[in-house]
Amino acid sequence: MTPAEPAAEEAFIATPAGRLHACRWPAHGARRPQPPIVLLHDSLGSVDLWRSFPQALAERSGRDVVAYDRLGFGRSDPHPGRLALDFVQQEAQGDFAAVLAHFGIDRFVAFGHSVGGGMALCIGAAYPARCRAVVVESAQAFAEAMTLDGVRAAQASFAEPGQVERLARYHGDKAAWVLAAWTETWLAPAFAGWNLDAELRRLRQPTLVLRGSEDAFGSAAHAGRIAAHAAGVVTVRTFDGAGHVPHKEAAEGVLDAVGDFLGTVDAA
């Protein structure tokens, strides 16, 4: 597998279902400690696939940054079965809770990309006293037709020779499970009515929604739905020309937006 960026602390966290791999990047030179940022990866993601972003985020925000591989992904242990249809909502009390306990994290900022963004929204709703703010990037808030079309297109592309092997660079022999967990869950008929409306109504933290104007996996309707249903203040920032991964495609803009947003949260 491709090695992770250098981290001050790397851990394997025991859970009843298997070990989780996690890393923590320190915020050097911060004037006073601030609640760390916990990153939640996308459907095919891992700690390694964040690449240099966690370190850059720690430096720009002045906060420690923690990222972890959900069970079945990256360097965490294999998942024992299939994803439940409410797996996005379940993450708040699942792997995420184990990571908080291991690192002794009380208050935190939840930052999620794609499906990890949906998880971050649910985490904000589930931890009203501990979660200081929520940042989501290319987050899905419901099973939009455009999102499902993007999943179908990706499923077809992964049928080409060598594509699953590319995924194995980050997930090892779990790659086929990772791909199926994404495509089969999202394309299941029972998932068609999935949405986060109930969780959003309990989301009271300041929330920053980041999206790319050219995102192939979701329209602006997701940001609109988050802003319409969330109980707290929602700020939406769109990066022109960026696709589904603004933290790579518009990295400096994302770092500036997150830094400014968290500075406002701290001041308040």
Strands 108-113 vs 131-137: parallel, antiparallel or unpaired: parallel
For 133-168, what is each residue's pLDDT tens digit?
999 999 999 999 999 999 999 999 999 999 999 999
At 162 the three-state DSSP class reads: coil
Picking from 13, 159, 193, 7, the residue whose alpha carbon sits closest to that of residue 85 is 193
**Residue 117 and residue 137 in contact, taking contact as beta carbons nearer than 8 Å:** yes
Q: What is the pLDDT of residues 49-79, one digit of tens each?
A: 999 999 999 999 999 999 999 999 999 999 9
- The helix/strand/coil state of 97 is helix
Q: How confident is the model at residue 1 (pLDDT cuts 50, 70, 90)?
A: very low
pLDDT for 30 equals 60
Residue 123 has pLDDT above 80, yes or no: yes
What share of the chain in percent tops pLDDT 70?
96
Joined tokens for residue 96? 């995420």
Q: Which residue has the higher pLDDT, 194 or 267?
A: 194
Residues 81-99: what's their mean pLDDT? 96
**In percent, how much of the chain has pLDDT > 90?**
93
Residues in the chain: 268
- For residue range 223-252, list pLDDT tens digits in order: 999 999 999 999 999 999 999 999 999 999
Q: Which residues lie below 8 Å from residue 242, measured CB to CB, with a gap of 6+?
A: 212, 213, 214, 215, 249, 250
Side chain identity at residue 73, one-letter code: F
Supply the mean pLDDT for the chain: 95
Please tell me the predicted confidence (pLDDT) of residue 4.
45
Residue 3: pLDDT band (50, 70, 90) is: very low
